[in-house]
Amino acid sequence: MTAAPSVVVLDYGSGNLRSAERALARVGASVTVTADAGAARECDGLVVPGVGAFAACMAGVRSVGADRVVTARVSAGRPVLGICVGMQVLYDVGDEHGVVTAGIGVLPGRVTRLGAAVLPHMGWNTVSPPAQSVLFRGVEGERFYFVHSYAVRPGPGSGSDSGSGSGETIAAHGSPFVAAIERGVLAATQFHPEKSGDAGLALLANWVGSLS
Question: Do 140 and 120 form a contact (C-beta atoms < 8 A)?
Answer: no
Query: Residues with catalytic annotation?
Result: 84, 192, 194
Q: Would you write out the chain's pLDDT as a tens digit for each of its 212 residues?
A: 578 999 999 999 987 799 999 999 999 999 999 999 999 999 999 999 999 999 999 999 999 999 999 999 999 999 999 999 999 999 999 999 889 999 999 999 999 999 999 999 999 999 999 999 999 999 999 999 999 999 999 986 444 433 335 899 999 999 999 999 999 999 999 999 999 999 999 999 999 999 97
Q: What pLDDT is attached to residue 121?
A: 98
Q: How many CB atoms lie within 10 A of CB 138?
A: 11
pTM to 2 decimal places? 0.94
> Helices 54-63 & 66-75, crossing angle to 10 degrees?
80
CA 77 to chain centroid: 17
Tell me which residue of 189, 208, 201, 203 sits closest to 29, measured CA to CA: 208
Q: What's residue 163's pLDDT?
A: 32
Is residue 12 within 8 Å of residue 64, measured between CB atoms?
yes
pLDDT on residue 155: 81
- CATH fold of 6-210 reads Rossmann fold (3.40.50)
Confidence (pLDDT) at 1: 59
For the chain, give every domain's residue range: 6-210
Give 36's contacts (C-beta < 8 A, 6+ positions apart).
none
